[in-house]
C-alpha cells in the first residue's frame, strides 16, 4: 500500500494576452471593466457574401513587435499570437531564464483549430493557382496545432513537458489543467500554458455559418454577442491568445515573483451526448464544477464568482444556467456571474485561457466585469449576471468554465493567494 503524496501548491506569476479589446493584459482588463465591445466588420477578407459579416478581430497587432520578419513569415497567425503573449507572460513573471533549470520548465499551449488560414491559402495555391509543386515547405509546420507550443519551447530553450491540447472550446482550459497537474506531481517546476486561435478567415466564418452557430446580427455587430439575453442568436467569432506562467509555490518565492492567485482545483468531464449541444440540464458541466470544487478542498459555499462559458447560443446559455443552479442550489443567485465573450467574442481554443486571466484578475482585484448586451432577460437565464457596469465583489474563490464541441467540459478553480 502506497503513501499519499502531498500535492505541491501551484500559483500564477505571469500573464500575457492578445484580445479583441486589448493587446496587453492591462488594456484587456481596463476595457472589460469599461464594458467595451470588440466586435466590428470583418476586414481580413471580403465577407459580403457571408451570412455573418463581422467578428471580434485584433486591432493594431504587428507580429514584428515580438518576433523577426523571417520567423513571422513562417508562422501562422495563431502561432504569432502565442509567441507574443508568451513573451508578455514570461516578462511579467520576472523569471531569469539564465538562472533556472530549463529541463524543468515546460510548455503546453493549445489551439482548437490551428492554422486554418494557412490551410486556406495553400489550398488555393494547389487547386486554383499553381499546382502541387508550389505548396510551401512550411505549410504543414505552419498549420498543425502543436506548433505554437513547439515554437515557444524553441524560442526560450524550455525542455520540460511540451505538447498541445485540442478539445475545441475547452482546449486552453485543458492545457492549464494539464500544466497544473504536471507541477503538482513534480514533473515540472514552471509551465508556460494557455491557448491561441486565429480562425477569422473564409473557411472559419463559412464553416460556422453552415452550422448556424454564428450570430447574423450584421446591422449591429457591437451588440451581437448577447449571453443570457432572450434574443441571442449565436456566438461572435474572436481571435487572440492567453498565456499563463504557473509555478510551484516555493519556486515562485525563490525569485521574488508577484503572485496573482493560486490554481486550486480542476474538473474535466465528458457529456457523451452530442457533437455540438450540451447534455440536458448541463449535466456534464455540473460534474466538472463539482470535481473542481472537491479537488480544491472547498465546498460550493466557498465560491463567490463564476466566469461562464456564456457563448450567446440559445441552448448553451440555458444549460449552463441550469448547471450553476444545480451545483450551488439556493446560493446560485447570490454568486456573481458573467460572460467575457459578451465583449471579446468566442476565441475558441484560446477562450479558456483568456477568460482565466479575467477570472484571476477578478480574484486578485475583487472586481467583476459586466456582461454587456443583455437587453431582454430570458426567464430560463435568471442568475446574477452583473450587467450594469463592473462591480466590486469580495472574491476568495472563483470558477472559470469552458465547454467544447464534442462534449468536453473543463472547470478551473482559482483562489486568492494566502501564505
Give the integer Cα–Cα distance in Å for 185 and 10: 11
Maximum Cα–Cα distance across the chain: 66
Pair 61, 157 in one domain: yes
Q: Is 346 assigned a catalytic role?
A: yes
The vertex-191 CA angle with 152 and 65, nearest 5°, equals 35
Query: What's phi and psi for 16, nearest 5 deg?
Result: -140, 140
Q: Tell me, yes or no, whether 384 lies in a domain.
A: yes
Can you say how many angstroms the Cα of residue 65 is from the centroid of all Cα atoms in its chain?
A: 23
Q: What pLDDT is stored for residue 419 in this prediction?
A: 83
Give the integer Cα–Cα distance in Å for 96 and 42: 40
343 touches 387 (CB < 8 A): no
315 touches 279 (CB < 8 A): no
Give the integer Cα–Cα distance in Å for 18 and 142: 19
Residue 14's Cβ-side half-sphere holds a number of Cα atoms within 13 Å equal to 27
Give the integer Cα–Cα distance in Å for 103 and 87: 19
**pLDDT per residue as tens digits for the range 300-340:** 999 999 999 999 999 999 999 999 999 999 999 999 999 99
User: Which residue's entry shows cell 442568436?
Assistant: 233
Pair 273, 359 in one domain: yes
Element (H, E) at 352: helix 351-365
**Active-site option among 174, 251, 346, 369:** 346
State the total domains in the chain. 2
Helices (H), 211-350: 249-254, 283-295, 314-328, 341-344
Pair 85, 136 in one domain: yes
Task: Report the CATH number at residue 389.
Answer: 3.40.47.10
Mean pLDDT of all residues belonging to the chain:
96
Q: Tell me, yes or no, whether 189 lies in a domain.
A: yes
C-alpha distances (whole Å) from 149 to each of 60, 247, 266 are 24, 17, 21
C-alpha distances (whole Å) from 190 to each of 5, 131, 247 are 19, 45, 4
Can you say how many angstroms the Cα of residue 151 is from the centroid of all Cα atoms in its chain?
A: 19
**Active-site option among 174, 251, 309, 369:** 309
Q: What pLDDT is stored for residue 187 in this prediction?
A: 97
The residue out of 196, 224, 254 marking a domain boundary is 254
Query: What's phi and psi for 279, nearest 5 deg?
Result: -65, 145
Task: Determine the straight-line distance between the first and last CA of the chain, rounded to whole angstroms.
Answer: 32
Pair 271, 249 in one domain: no
Q: Tell me, yes or no, whether 359 lies in a domain.
A: yes
How many other C-beta atoms can be found within 10 angstroms of the C-beta atom of residue 312? 27
13 touches 259 (CB < 8 A): yes
Pair 65, 148 in one domain: yes
In this predicted structure, the answer to whether residue 259 has a pLDDT above a threshold of 70 is: yes
How many other C-beta atoms can be found within 10 angstroms of the C-beta atom of residue 48? 7
Q: Is 309 assigned a catalytic role?
A: yes
Pair 248, 283 in one domain: no
411 touches 174 (CB < 8 A): no
In this predicted structure, the answer to whether residue 129 has a pLDDT above a threshold of 90 is: no
Q: Tell me, yes or no, whether 318 lies in a domain.
A: yes
Pair 159, 75 in one domain: yes
The residue out of 193, 224, 254 marking a domain boundary is 254
How many other C-beta atoms can be found within 10 angstroms of the C-beta atom of residue 46? 10
Q: What pLDDT is stored for residue 3 in this prediction?
A: 46
**pLDDT per residue as tens digits for the range 46-93:** 999 999 999 999 999 999 999 999 999 999 999 999 999 999 999 999
Give the integer Cα–Cα distance in Å for 225 and 369: 15
The residue out of 206, 229, 254 marking a domain boundary is 254
pTM for the model: 0.97
User: Which residue's entry shows cell 476586414?
Assistant: 43
Pair 188, 63 in one domain: yes
Q: Tell me, yes or no, whether 272 lies in a domain.
A: yes
Q: Tell me, yes or no, whether 311 lies in a domain.
A: yes
Closest to 366 in 3D by CA, of 295, 416, 323: 416
Pair 74, 202 in one domain: yes
Give the integer Cα–Cα distance in Å for 194 and 171: 8
Give the integer Cα–Cα distance in Å for 288 and 372: 26
Q: Tell me, yes or no, whether 4 lies in a domain.
A: no
**pLDDT per residue as tens digits for the range 135-145:** 999 999 999 99
Pair 270, 246 in one domain: no
In this predicted structure, the answer to whether residue 2 has a pLDDT above a threshold of 50 is: no
Q: What pLDDT is stored for residue 147 in this prediction?
A: 98
Provide the 3-class DSSP secondary structure of residue 77: helix
**Active-site option among 56, 75, 169, 381:** 169
Q: What pLDDT is stored for residue 5 in this prediction?
A: 59
Q: Tell me, yes or no, whether 345 lies in a domain.
A: yes
Domain that includes residue 270, residue range: 266-415
Pair 407, 311 in one domain: yes
- Percentage of the chain lying above the pLDDT 90 cut: 97
Pair 204, 334 in one domain: no
335 touches 369 (CB < 8 A): no
192 touches 110 (CB < 8 A): no
Amino acid at each position: 500500500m502506497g503513501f499519499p503524496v502531498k500535492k505541491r501548491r501551484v500559483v500564477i506569476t505571469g500573464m500575457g494576452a492578445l484580445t479583441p479589446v486589448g493587446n496587453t493584459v492591462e488594456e484587456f482588463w481596463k476595457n472589460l471593466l469599461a464594458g467595451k465591445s470588440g466586435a466590428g466588420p470583418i476586414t481580413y477578407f471580403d465577407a459580403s457574401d457571408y451570412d455573418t459579416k463581422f467578428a471580434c478581430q485584433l486591432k493594431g497587432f504587428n507580429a514584428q513587435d515580438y518576433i523577426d520578419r523571417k520567423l513571422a513569415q513562417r508562422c501562422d497567425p495563431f502561432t504569432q499570437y502565442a509567441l507574443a503573449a508568451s513573451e508578455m507572460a514570461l516578462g511579467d513573471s520576472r523569471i531569469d531564464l539564465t538562472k533556472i533549470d530549463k529541463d524543468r520548465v515546460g510548455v503546453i499551449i493549445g489551439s482548437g483549430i490551428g492554422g486554418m488560414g494557412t490551410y486556406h491559402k495553400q489550398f488555393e495555391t494547389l487547386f486554383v493557382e499553381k499546382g502541387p509543386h508550389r505548396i510551401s515547405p512550411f505549410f504543414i509546420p505552419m498549420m498543425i496545432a502543436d506548433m505554437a507550443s513547439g515554437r515557444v519551447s524553441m524560442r526560450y530553450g524550455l525542455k520540460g513537458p511540451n505538447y498541445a491540447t485540442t478539445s475545441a472550446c475547452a482546449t486552453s482550459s485543458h492545457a492549464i489543467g494539464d500544466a497544473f497537474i504536471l507541477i503538482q506531481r513534480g514533473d515540472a517546476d514552471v509551465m508556460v500554458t494557455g491557448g491561441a486561435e486565429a480562425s477569422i478567415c473564409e473557411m472559419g466564418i463559412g464553416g460556422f455559418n453552415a452550422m448556424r452557430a454564428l450570430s447574423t446580427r450584421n446591422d449591429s455587430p457591437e451588440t451581437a454577442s448577447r449571453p443570457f439575453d432572450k434574443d441571442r442568436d449565436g456566438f461572435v467569432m474572436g481571435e487572440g491568445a492567453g498565456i499563463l506562467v504557473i509555478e510551484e509555490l516555493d519556486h515562485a518565492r525563490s525569485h521574488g515573483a508577484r503572485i496573482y492567485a493560486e490554481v486550486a482545483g480542476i474538473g474535466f468531464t465528458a457529456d457523451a451526448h452530442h457533437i455540438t449541444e450540451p447534455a440536458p440540464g448541463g449535466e456534464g458541466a455540473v460534474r466538472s464544477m463539482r470535481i473542481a470544487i472537491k479537488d480544491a478542498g472547498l465546498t460550493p459555499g466557498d465560491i463567490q464568482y463564476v466566469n461562464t462559458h456564456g457563448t450567446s447560443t440559445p441552448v448553451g446559455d440555458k444549460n449552463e444556467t441550469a448547471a450553476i443552479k444545480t451545483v450551488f442550489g439556493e446560493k446560485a443567485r447570490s454568486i456573481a456571474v458573467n460572460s467575457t465573450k459578451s465583449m471579446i467574442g468566442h476565441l475558441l481554443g484560446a477562450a479558456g485561457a483568456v477568460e482565466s486571466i479575467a477570472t484571476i484578475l477578478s480574484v486578485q482585484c475583487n472586481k467583476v466585469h459586466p456582461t454587456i448586451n443583455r437587453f431582454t432577460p430570458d426567464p430560463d437565464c435568471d442568475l446574477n449576471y452583473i450587467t450594469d457596469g463592473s462591480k466590486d465583489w469580495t472574491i476568495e474563490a472563483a470558477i472559470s468554465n469552458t465547454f467544447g464541441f464534442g462534449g468536453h467540459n473543463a472547470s478551473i478553480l482559482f483562489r486568492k493567494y494566502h501564505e
